[in-house]
Amino acid sequence: MRELMIRGALAAAILLPLASHAAAPTVVDDAALGDQTQGHNWLGYGRTHHEQRFSPLDQVNAGNVGKLGVAWSLDLPEDRSLTATPLVVDGVMYFNGSYARTRAVDAKTGKILWEHDPKVFETAEDRARILWDWNRGVAYWKGMVYVATPDGRLIALDAKSGQEVWAAQTFEPSKPLFISGAPRVFRDKVLIGNGGTEWGAARGFVTAYDAATGKQAWRFWTVPGNPADGFENKAMEMAAKTWTGEWWKFGGGGTVWHGMTYDPEFNRVYIGTGNGSPWNQKMRSPGGGDNLFLCSIVALDADTGEYVWHYQTVPGETWDYNSNMDIVLADLVIEDKPVKALMHAPKNGYFYVIDRSTGKLVSAKPFGKVDWATGIDMTTGRPIEREGARYEDGEEIVWPGPFGTHNWPAMSFNQDTGLVYIPSIEMAGVYNDKYTKPQAWKSPDFKFDPGVDFLRADGPADWGSSSLRAWDPVQQKLVWEVPTPGVWNAGTLTTKGGLVFQGRADGKLVAYAADTGKVLWDISLGLGISAPAVTYAIDGTQYIAQLVGWGGSMTATGGNMAAQHGWSYGAQPRRLVVFALDGKASLPKMPAPVFAKPLHDAEFVVFEELAERGSFVWKESCGMCHGPAGTAGGFAPDLRASAVMLDKKALHQVVFDGALRARGMPNFKDVSEGDLEAVQHFIRREAHKQQLNTP
C-alpha cells in the first residue's frame, strides 16, 4: 500500500511540466520566510524575515536591464493611494489597494483570481474622519492571507478563495486610531500595531494573534499607563520612571504603525515605536524625561511578547521623530568582527547599526542634513542635542521636520555591494507652540492637534528636496547619491543582478547600477510612484512588479511639495505594471498632469477674522486630507478649486450629511455651520493668495 502510494506520487511528478509553480506548493512558514536563497517567491513584506529586499534573481541584470519592457499591466480604476509591497507565492500575486481592498492575481498574466473588500466605511463610524486610504501590504502564512484594515480589523483570508476565515478588532473602536501597515507572521502568530497620536490620546501597543484562529496570543504596551492602575509588567514599571506629569491623560504615544521585524536566529521580534502623543513634550511630560519606549527599537520574545532589550533613538521626543521606519537584519563584519546587525534609519536622520544579540549600539552617523543633535555620544548611546532645538522659546526651525530624513518608503540592503539604498528627504520643520499655552492643552477627540502648529500654512514647493543614497553601514559613510524629484519617492528593491530599482515622485521607475548609482534604465509610468517594486520568477522568467499610485502622508499633507507634480485627485488612473526582459505589452495612455486652478468668486467678500477662525477648523478637521492651507497634494480634491465650496447647500450635503462618505469624504458631527462658514472664508482667502502669485 505504502509503496503504491509513493509510486503514484512519482508518476504524477513525472507527468507534471517542469514549471516551478507546478512543483509542490510552497509551505509559507518560518523556514520559507527565513530562506534568503530562493528568489521565485516574494513571501513577506521585506521579502524574507530579514527585510533586506534583496533578491537573488539575476536574469535581469546590469548588462541587460535596458531590454526591460512591459509584460502585462492591470488598471485599478477604483483605487487611489497604492503603497503596498505585493507578495508572490507560487505564481499568484497578493496585494492590497485603497481601504485595504485585497486582490489575488495570476502573476504571469495579470488575471484577477479574487478580490476582497473589507467595506471600511460600513464599520468605521467616527473614525472615518481620520482614515487615509493607503495600506502597505498583506502577509501570507500557510495558505492564508492577512490584511489589516484602516478601521482596525485584522482579517485572515483563504488564499485560494479570498473568503474570510476570521477577523479580529485590534483596538477599541471608540479610539482615534487606524492601521496603514502590513502585518508580520512568525511562529504561527500574526503581529499588528496601529497608527494614531495626532487625533487624540493614544497609548501604543502591538498584539500577536494566533494565525489559525485569530485568538489573541499576547500584547505589549510601548508606554506606561497610569501608575495608579498598576503596571502590566516590569518593563512598564521601568519605563514609568522616565515620565513626568500626568502623561497617561494624553496617551503618551509610541504607536507601532510600521516597522516590525522577526529575527529567526534569536526568536525575537523588533518593533519600531512611534512619536509622543502629543508630539510636544512640554504638554506630554512637562518635567522632561526620556519617555520610554517612545522612538525606540524594542526587542520582544516572539513567543511571549516579553521585553528583552531596547535602544531609544530619540529620548524625550518632541519633533515627531518616530522610529517606525523599517528594521533590516544582516550579518556584517565590522572592525574584523562579525556582528549580528540590525540596521535602522529613522526619521531623525541618523543611521544606526545595533548588535541585535545585545541591543548595544555599534555605530550611528547622520545620513542627511540634521541639526537637532550634533552627534551620538558613543559611550552613552545618547544624542547630543543642540540648544534651541526643543523650541524652548516657542518657535524654531529644526532639521529634519516631521516627515523625517527617511520615512516609511523602504530601504534595501544588497549583500554583494554591502550597501543600503535609502530614499532620503532633506527638509526642515517649523516647530511652533506659541498659538496655545502648553499648560492649558488638552488631548483632542478625533481632531488633528499634535501640540504644535501644523497645516494652517503651507511652504513653497522647494521647501524640501530628496535623493537616493547608497550608504555603507560598516564604514558609516555615503558611497553614492542621486538627486530625486520632489520629496516623496518610493522604497527600493535591490537584486543579485547588480541593480537598484526605485519608483519616483515624477512617475518614473528607474534602475540604477547598485555599485555606482548610474542610471541604466527608466520608464515613465505617468503618475507618482509610492510603492516599492518587487521581483519574482515564473517558468524561468524574472518579473519586476510595480504598483503605480501616488500615496502616503506627503500626498495628503505635503501641500505645494506634493502638488508640484500634477497628480491631482482623480486625474490619473491607478495601475499595476509588471516588466520582463523583452516585454512587448503597451500601456494604456495616462492623462497629463493636472494642476488645481483656484476658483475666483468676485462676489465673495473675505472676512479676515472668519478666515483666521477657519484656519483652526481647517487644521483640526480638513487639512490632514485636503492639505495645508488648502493646497491638496493629490490624496483629496483641492478645495480652492472646488465649486462645492461656493455652494452652501451642496457643502452641507457633503460635510454634514455624508454625501461622499463612501468615497472617503467623512461626515462631521462636531463642525458647526459657523465653523464651516469660517472654512469657506479661509479657503477663499487662500485661493485669492494663489491667484496673486500666479502670473
Interface residues with ligand HEC (CB under 6 A) are 129, 131, 621-622, 624-626, 636-637, 639, 642, 644-645, 651, 654-655, 660, 663-666, 668, 671, 679
Q: Which residue's CB is nearer to ligand HEC, number 103 or number 626?
A: 626
Q: Which residue's CB is nearer to ligand HEC, number 538 or number 665?
A: 665
Nearest-approach distance from CB 453 to ligand HEC, in angstroms: 18
Nearest-approach distance from CB 83 to ligand HEC, in angstroms: 16
Nearest-approach distance from CB 562 to ligand HEC, in angstroms: 15
Tell me whether the omega of the peptide bond preceding residue 400 falls within 30 degrees of 0, making it cis: yes
Query: What is the spatial distance between Cα 375 and Cα 224, in angstroms, rounded to a whole number?
Result: 29
All cell numbers assigned to 667: 461626515
Query: What is the spatial distance between Cα 147 and Cα 153, in angstroms, rounded to a whole number?
Result: 8
Nearest-approach distance from CB 278 to ligand HEC, in angstroms: 18
Nearest-approach distance from CB 178 to ligand HEC, in angstroms: 10
Give the CA-trace dihedral at 185, 187, 189, 190, to 10 degrees.
-10
Q: Which residue's CB is nearer to ligand HEC, number 271 or number 655?
A: 655
Nearest-approach distance from CB 530 to ligand HEC, in angstroms: 16
Tell me if 207 sits within 8 A of 284, measured CB to CB.
Answer: no
Long-range contacts formed by 511-518: CB under 8 A, 24+ apart: 511/65, 511/68, 512/468, 512/482, 513/62, 514/62, 514/414, 514/416, 514/417, 514/419, 514/421, 514/470, 515/417, 515/419, 516/480, 517/468, 517/470, 517/480, 517/481, 517/482
Query: What is the spatial distance between Cα 581 and Cα 242, in angstroms, rounded to a whole number?
Result: 56
Nearest-approach distance from CB 504 to ligand HEC, in angstroms: 24
Vertex 208, ends 117 and 422: CA angle to 5°?
75
Q: Which residue's CB is nearer to ligand HEC, number 235 or number 651?
A: 651
Query: What is the spatial distance between Cα 503 and Cα 530, in angstroms, rounded to a whole number?
Result: 7
Q: Which residue's CB is nearer to ligand HEC, number 131 or number 563?
A: 131
Q: Which residue's CB is nearer to ligand HEC, number 329 or number 624?
A: 624
Q: Which residue's CB is nearer to ligand HEC, number 480 or number 668?
A: 668
Q: Which residue's CB is nearer to ligand HEC, number 128 or number 185?
A: 128
Nearest-approach distance from CB 637 to ligand HEC, in angstroms: 4
Q: Which residue's CB is nearer to ligand HEC, number 566 or number 637?
A: 637
Q: How many CB atoms lie within 10 A of CB 3?
A: 7
Residue found by looking up cell 509610492 in the block? 530
Q: Which residue's CB is nearer to ligand HEC, number 514 or number 671?
A: 671
Nearest-approach distance from CB 621 to ligand HEC, in angstroms: 4
List, in order, residues 6 or more apart from 289 with CB less than 8 Å away.
242, 243, 244, 316
**Selection from 678, 183, 251 nearest residue 444 by Cα:** 251
**Selection from 142, 237, 136 nearest residue 192 by Cα:** 136
Nearest-approach distance from CB 619 to ligand HEC, in angstroms: 10
Residue found by looking up cell 558613543 in the block? 378
